[in-house]
Amino acid sequence: MLKETGLLRSALTGSFLAAALILVGQVAAMHMLSLPERELPTPPLGNLPVQLGPWKLQDEQALEPGVLAYLRPDSYVLRNYSKASGANGAINLFVAYFKSLQNSYGPHSPRVCLPGSGWLVRSSRIRPVPMPGRPEGIPVNEYVLEKNNDSILVLYWYQNDRNIWAEEFKAKLVLLPDLIRYRRSDVSLVRLVAPLQGSEVEQLAASQEFARLIFPSLVADLREGD
């Protein structure tokens, strides 16, 4: 468990956490528009379940001060979950919510930031993952990264109460129209990190199961901001 925690902490440092925001062009366009937005309540992310199926909360972490000042989320959770026994038992959950990208700095695409802190991309793809209420699935980025003799599996996607997407360029197709039509540009990043210490297929199945378990709570919490 100590090694797994160390791997997850290593994966969360440096520019890897800059994956929290979307694209420079998107934010620049919003700044140029400078439209007034609706005042939204902050979703209660701290109320996300401490137990999800066989996974229980192990510990709750805080972003490093420099990273927090850089990302400026309005709300976030950074947690380690683990199973009491069995393989594929450690998963780190990071959810960052931003009420408005007009007031946030969005410098990089995760496709650029993921190799930060010395992690190299071994494979990447976007795949649909079935979710409760969405049998057709939601698009999820899947990355396998390695450093020295260690490997991790990363799943992440973007979500608000109106849309879910994986590809960063779609932010331009989603958030700017929302800003004009609804006077809101809120968005959250949902990211799971798990150490790969056995079968990649089995870890992927475990991470997808965790995603399905957390998804209904995310939908409910983000609806609080409506």
Q: What is the mean pLDDT of residues 45-67?
A: 93
156 — phi, psi (to 5°)?
Answer: -150, 155
Cα distance between residue 140 and residue 168, in whole Å: 12
- Reported residue count of the chain is 226
Which has the closest alpha carbon to 152: 14, 18, 11? 11
- pTM, 2 dp: 0.84
Q: Do residues 30 and 36 lie in contact, with contact meaning Cβ atoms separated by under 8 Å?
A: no
User: Mean pLDDT score of the chain, rounded to an integer?
Assistant: 80
> What Cα–Cα distance (Å) separates residue 26 from each residue in 83, 127, 150, 164, 212?
39, 24, 35, 17, 29
> What Cα–Cα distance (Å) separates residue 205 from each residue in 199, 208, 212?
10, 5, 11
Q: pLDDT at position 112, please?
A: 63
Q: pLDDT at position 7, please?
A: 58
The token duo for 213 is: 């378990």
Cα distance between residue 185 and residue 37, in whole Å: 8
Q: pLDDT at position 94, please?
A: 92
Please list, in sequence order, all residues whose beta carbon lies within 8 angstroms of the beta carbon of residue 189, skipping any fewer than 6 positions away.
Answer: 19, 20, 21, 94, 95, 96, 156, 157, 158
Give the pLDDT confidence of 136-153 residue by residue, as tens digits.
999 999 999 998 888 999
Q: What is the mean pLDDT of residues 36-54?
A: 87
The residue that leads in pLDDT, 206 or 28, is: 206
Q: In this structure, how many other beta carbons lie within 10 angstroms of the beta carbon of residue 68? A: 13
User: Is the per-residue pLDDT at 28 higher than 50?
Assistant: no
Which has the closest alpha carbon to 47: 183, 166, 226, 216? 216
Q: Do residues 211 and 140 lie in contact, with contact meaning Cβ atoms separated by under 8 Å?
A: yes
Q: In this structure, how many other beta carbons lie within 10 angstroms of the beta carbon of residue 57? A: 15
The token duo for 141 is: 């980025």
Q: What is the mean pLDDT of residues 35-51?
A: 85
Q: Do residues 158 and 47 lie in contact, with contact meaning Cβ atoms separated by under 8 Å?
A: no
